[in-house]
Amino acid sequence: MTPCAVRVSNGCKSYSAGEPVLKDMFMQVEHGKIYGLLGESGCGKTTLLKCIMGQIALDSGHISVLERDACRSREELLTSIGHMPQEVALYPLRIREIFEYFGTLQGLSKIEVGVRIRELSTVLNLEDGNLSVKTLSGGQLRRVSLAVALLNRPRLLILDEPTTGIDPLLRLGIWDYIGGLVVTLGTTVIVTTHYAEEARKSVTISDSMVEIYYCGGIRFSWWWRYFSGCGYICTTKPVTIAPPPRKSNTAAVLDFYHFRLSHISLPLIGIMRRGRLICEDNPNNLLESYGTPILEVVLKSLARMDEEKKLQSIDNHSTLAKISRYKYPLAGLESDKCSPLSFRFKEKDETEASLENIFIEKAETPKKSKIVEEFEKVRILTKRNYLLHLRTPEVLATFLLLPVIQVIAIFYIFGRDPVGMRLAVYNQERNCFGGKNNMNYSLLGDNWTIWGCAFLKELEEGAGKFNLKYYRSGTSALAAVETGGAIGAVEIPANFTVSTRHRFVFDRFTPEIDLRQSTIKVRMDMTNTINTNFVISMIQLSYMRFLQGIVNETRIEINPNLLKLPFTFNRKLDPHEFTFQEYILPANVILTTFFLSMSAGIFLSTEKEQGTLARSLAAGVKMRQVYISYFISETSMTILQVGAIFAVQFALVGYGVRGNLGTCFVMALLSSVVTMSLAMLAASIFSKLRETIVTIIFFILICGIPSGSFWPLEAVNAHFRWMFYYLNPISLPMVAMRRVFNNGWGLGHLVVRVAFLTPIAWLVLISCGYCVVGRIQRVK
C-alpha cells in the first residue's frame, strides 16, 4: 500500500443517540499534499478532522496518520500535527504569551519561538506581540490562531476553515505560505472551507510553486538564511517559504528543494455529504467534467445527483461511478486516481528516505525523562493560569478583595446584632407621647398609671433599640404586622401598672384578673425566624430590666436579684462575652474558600467551551497535567485569600486566631480543594459552561446552607443529623474552625482531628469519580 499521511477506512461515527455523522468514510491523503475538504454545513467535516487528530474515536473503522494508528499513537503524533480549529480557541493573553505558551508546550526553545514569531508575523501580517487578543478583530484573531497551528512546522497541518473572516489579499498570502510549507517541508495539509473557489486555488498552489522553481528560482528571506546558513540561490522572484532542516549546506538545500518540488503530484479536493465522501478529484478535472468554470456549480450538481441516488435507491457503486471519477471505495484504496504528473516522480524508496531526512531535525531533539517532561508541562500550564489571572485583573481583584470586603462587612456592616426593628404598639393604659417618653424611673414614684410607658422606654432605649410605632387600636397594630410594617405588635393592657404592682404585693395570692391585666400580649411575624427569636429574647430582657428599674426606684421592697433568672452564664468557662461576629467569622473563612474555589471548574469549563483546552491537549498536554496545574494555581489563590482574611481580621479589627493558625489554614485549604476538585470533575463531565455552573452552584448550596454556618445543625431531625454532620464536607471543619478560632483548640481535640477526615473522604470519592470519567471518556 502506498504510504499515506492520512488514511481513513470504513470510518463510522455517531454522537450519543444521534444519526451517524460519519458513514463508512474512506479518505486517503498522500504525503506533502494539500487536500481540500468541502461540504455543506453539518456534513461531518469537523468530526472527521477530530477523529484524524485522535480527539474522538471512531465507532468502527480505522484511521492511520503518518503511518501510525490515530488513536493509539495519539500522543506520539501530537507534536507532528498542527491544528487550527474552527473556533478561534485562544486564551485571553497577549499574542506573544500565547505563542510562548504553545511553542514551549510543543518543545520549542525560547529562541526558536522568537524566530517563528518573527517569521509568522511577516507572513500573516500579525499585530504587535504585546497586544492582548481581547483587543483584536475577528480576522486578526484567526490569523493568530493560524500562526499557533504553524508554530511547530508540523508534518501534518489540519486547518478547519482557516481563512474565514480574513481579507482576500491576506488569504492569498496565507495560501502562498502554506504552499511554501508543502514545497519546502513536505507538510501535508488537510483544509476544510466553505469557499469552494478558494479551495480550488489553495490546492493548486503547489503547481505555482513548481512553476516558480522552474522558471526563475527562489529567494530566501533573512530568517531562512539565518536558519539554513546558506545564502541566495538564483534570485528572480521573492517567495516566502519555510526552511529545510538546519545545518544543511547549499547543495543539500538545493537537493532538498529538488526533492520537494519533484514530489508534488496533482492536488485533490474531497466533497463530503451526510458523512460520506461523495467525490474526490482534482478541481480542474471536476470543472472540466461538468463543463463549468465555477466549482460551486459542481458542488450543487453533485449534491443533486447524490440526492437522486438516495431517492431512487440506485446501487452504491454505479452511483459513485456516475458522480465522479473517485475510486477509493471501489478500488480498495489504490492510488491510481492520480493523474499523470507533469514532472519527474522519484521512486518510492527514495521518497521515504527523503521524508525521513526532512524530519531528522525533530528526531534529533534530546528526549527528556518522563518526570522532567511532566514537571515541565505542569510548570507551563501553571504559568499560563497565573498569566490568565494577571491578564484579567477584574477577576483577580474579585478573588482577592471579596474575602477582605466580607470580613470588613461582617465587622462594620452586617455582623452586629439587629437594631431598630419596628414594633407596633397599642398601649391601652396611656399614650406615651409617641414614644418620646423621657421620664426616669425615679420620677415614677407612686404614679402607678405610667408603668407601661416605662416598659416601652426600656424597649426603645435598651439592648433591642426598637423603633416603636403607636396605634390607636389592637387591630390596626396587628394590621401593621400583617402588612410587613412591623415585626411584632405589643399590646399593653389598660390596668397594666396596677396589676403589675398587685403581682408584687400579693405574690402567690395575686388574683386571676391582675395576672391577665399585667400580661403584655406580643404577636409576632414568624416568617423571619432569626429576627423573631432575637425580638423575643430582647423583649424578655427589656422586661427584666424594666422590673429591676421599678424595684430599684420605687418603694416596693423586693430584693432585685429575685427578679433575675437563677443562672450565671460563662463565669468559669469563658468570661468573654461572645458576639455574633465571633460566631460568623470562622465560618466565613470556610465558606469563602469553599465558594470561591469553584472558579477552577469555571475556568476549566470555559477552556473546554472555547476550544482552548482541546488545543492545549493537541499540543501534547494531558488532562492530569491540566488538573494539577489548576490545583497549584487555585490553591495558591486560596492561600492568598485565607491570608488576606486573617491579616484584615487582625490588622483592622484586632481579631486573631486563639489556636494554631496553621491548623486553620489547612482546614480552609482542604475545604477549598474539595470544591475545586468537584468543580473540575463537573467541568470534565459537562461540555457546556452553563451546565457546569449549575452543577457547582447546586453542590455549593446543598453543602453550604445545611453546614451549621447559618442555622445550627442540632435543628435537623435527629435521624438525619449524622448525614449533615458527616456527609457534608464543610460541617465538621466549620465546627472545628470555631473551636480553633475562639477556644484555641488544636489537634489534641477529637473534634478538630475528625474535621480533617470528611474533606479527605470526599477527596478520595472524587478521585474515584475522576478515574471513572477518564475511563468513560477514553472509551468514547
Ligand X SMILES: Nc1ncnc2c1ncn2[C@@H]1O[C@H](COP(=O)(O)OP(=O)(O)OP(=O)(O)O)[C@@H](O)[C@H]1O
**Where on the chain is the footprint of ligand X (CB under 6 A)?**
15, 18, 21, 39, 41-47, 86
Rounded distance between C-alpha atoms, residue 521 and residue 490, angstroms: 6
Q: Which grid coordinates are listed for 213?
A: 522553481
Looking at beta carbons only, is 158 or 645 nearer to ligand X? 158
Closer CB to ligand X, 141 or 667, in the complex: 141
Q: By C-beta, is 44 or 243 nearer to ligand X?
A: 44
What does DSSP say about strands 20-30 and 422-427: parallel, antiparallel, or unpaired? unpaired
The residue among 521 and 688 lying less far from ligand X, judged by its C-beta, is 688
Q: How far is the CB of 705 from ligand X (least distance, A)?
A: 35
Please say which residue, 161 or 525, places its beta carbon nearer to ligand X: 161
Least spacing, CB of residue 164 vs ligand X, in Å: 10
H or E, element range at 175: helix 168-185
Name the minimum Å distance from CB 57 to ligand X. Answer: 13
Supply the minimum distance, in Å, between the C-beta of residue 265 and ligand X.
27
CB of 41 to ligand X, least distance (A): 3
Nearest partner of 657 among 527, 752, 766, judged by Cα: 752
Using CB atoms within 10 Å of the CB of residue 291, give its burial: 0 to 12 exposed, 13 to 18 middle, 19+ buried.
Answer: exposed
Least distance in Å: CB of 688 to ligand X? 10
Helix (H, G, I), strand (E, B) or coil at 325: coil
Q: Which is nearer to ligand X, 39 or 452 (CB)?
A: 39
Residue 586 · residue 738 · CB < 8 Å:
yes
Cβ of residue 10: shortest distance to ligand X, in angstroms? 18
Q: How far apart are CA 159 and CA 141, in angstroms?
A: 15
Decide whether 46 or 510 has the Cβ nearer to ligand X: 46
With beta carbons less than 8 A apart as the criterion, state whether 38 and 266 touch.
no
Residues 6+ apart with CB under 8 A from 275: 13, 20, 21, 22, 23, 25, 43, 44
Q: 701 is written with which cell numbers?
A: 448550596
3-state secondary structure 71-125: CCCHHHHHCCEEEECCCCCCCCCEHHHHHHHHHHHCCCCHHHHHHHHHHHHHHHC
- Min dist CB 43 to ligand X, Å, is 4
Q: What angle do CA 534, 539, 542 make, to 5 degrees?
A: 125
Query: CB-wise, 56 or 544, nearer to ligand X?
Result: 56
H helix runs in 247-369, sequence order? 250-263, 283-289, 295-312, 316-323, 328-331, 348-358, 360-364
Query: How do beta strands 20-30 and 156-160 pair?
Result: unpaired
C-alpha cell at 441: 424611673
- Closer CB to ligand X, 184 or 610, in the complex: 610
Strands 188-192, 268-273: parallel, antiparallel or unpaired by DSSP? Answer: unpaired
Kindly tell me which of 116 and 615 has the beta carbon lying closer to ligand X: 615
